[in-house]
Amino acid sequence: MPAGEAAVRCRSSAVRAHGGRHSGTGARQAARLRARLAGRLEVVDRLVTLPRSGRRYWILAPAEPDRLLAAAEDDPEQRLPYWTQPWPSGLALADAALARFADLAGRPILELGSGLGVTATAAIEAGAELLATDYSPLALLLCRHNALDNARRAPRTLVADWRARGAELWRRADAAGGFPVILGADILYEEGDIAPLLALVERLLAPDGRLWLAEPGRDPARRFLAALAASGWRDAVEVHDGPWPDGDDDPVRVHTLRRPG
């Protein structure tokens, strides 16, 4: 997804040199993170506009996502870096988080597959006590930076792989009595993730909790939703039409899923 002019713009290096949009502790922490990242990655600031709220975030992102993808193609575990760009589902879920802030404010919220942190930034703005997770440590650094830079507060972060047994994630869920809301934006694009994510959500969601899943109609997401429906889960769907970065025009569905009963 290359950047589309309508919704995403890049900040010039001259503007970048001036740093963040506010001052204070959050800005200093963001500047330190940016310096840490600069040694590891060529980065660029992208201006992302959320379609419904009109909220705009500057999102620090890899300058050359395609090069990172190409470099990962030989990875035997196929951990492809799809975290390198802001996806439409992440923007839609960010808008949902801002609109439904009362469901998030002051509560322990989990995000799976946070990527660059567009949704995480909105959840933090909504007042969530967010735990952002991803299997990419670099993505989580960018996620922290972007939340600090735009919302002045960083989520807690945890490197966690859906396909591995997540003892630390389980411990944190148990400490919270299960997460009342789990967020996931475009996390279902591999067949092999359907079963691990079904098990993970079952394990981590509070008994009366909600899974907020944003997805653009990929087959694995359909199969995941069908499996939940077959177990009696209830689904309320909201359709988000964009406009999205990069001229993508597929609608995104934001599902609010809950257990039967």
Ligand X SMILES: C[S@@+](CC[C@H](N)C(=O)[O-])C[C@H]1O[C@@H](n2cnc3c(N)ncnc32)[C@H](O)[C@@H]1O
- Are 211 and 231 contacting, i.e. CB atoms less than 8 angstroms apart? no
59-79 burial: b if 16+ Cβ within 10 Å, else e? bbbbeebeebeeeeeeeeeee
Compute the distance between CA of residue 224 and CA of residue 222 in angstroms, rounded to an integer: 5
Question: For the residues of 195-243, what is the DSSP string, one character each?
Answer: HHHHHHHHHHEEEEEEEEEEE---HHHHHHHHHHHHTT-EEEEEEE--P
Nearer to ligand X, 185 or 205 (CB): 185
Q: Which of 3, 61, 62, 83 binds ligand X (CB under 6 A)?
A: 83
Compute the distance between CA of residue 72 and CA of residue 207 in angstroms, rounded to an integer: 38
CA distances for 104 relative to 16, 114, 134, 212, angstroms: 32, 16, 20, 11
224 binds ligand X (CB under 6 A): no
Least distance from ligand X to the Cβ atom of residue 92, Å: 9
Q: Which of 45, 95, 125, 134 binds ligand X (CB under 6 A)?
A: 134
Least distance from ligand X to the Cβ atom of residue 69, Å: 12
The terminus-to-terminus CA distance of the chain in angstroms comes to 40
187 binds ligand X (CB under 6 A): yes
Q: What angle do CA 92, 135, 2 make, to 5 degrees?
A: 45
118 binds ligand X (CB under 6 A): yes
Instruction: Give percent helix, percent strand, percent coil of the chain, each to the nearest 5.
Output: 40, 25, 35
From 7-15, 22-30, 115-123, 201-209, span contacting ligand X (CB under 6 A): 115-123
95 binds ligand X (CB under 6 A): no
Least distance from ligand X to the Cβ atom of residue 233, Å: 21
Q: Which of 186, 225, 255, 257 binds ligand X (CB under 6 A)?
A: 186
- Are 60 and 43 contacting, i.e. CB atoms less than 8 angstroms apart? yes
212 binds ligand X (CB under 6 A): no
26 binds ligand X (CB under 6 A): no
Q: Which of 121, 136, 146, 157 binds ligand X (CB under 6 A)?
A: 136
115 binds ligand X (CB under 6 A): yes
Nearer to ligand X, 30 or 254 (CB): 254
Least distance from ligand X to the Cβ atom of residue 42, Å: 19
Nearer to ligand X, 28 or 222 (CB): 222
From 7-15, 29-37, 43-51, 184-192, span contacting ligand X (CB under 6 A): 184-192
| Residue 8: φ, ψ to 5° | -130, 130
87 binds ligand X (CB under 6 A): yes
113 binds ligand X (CB under 6 A): yes
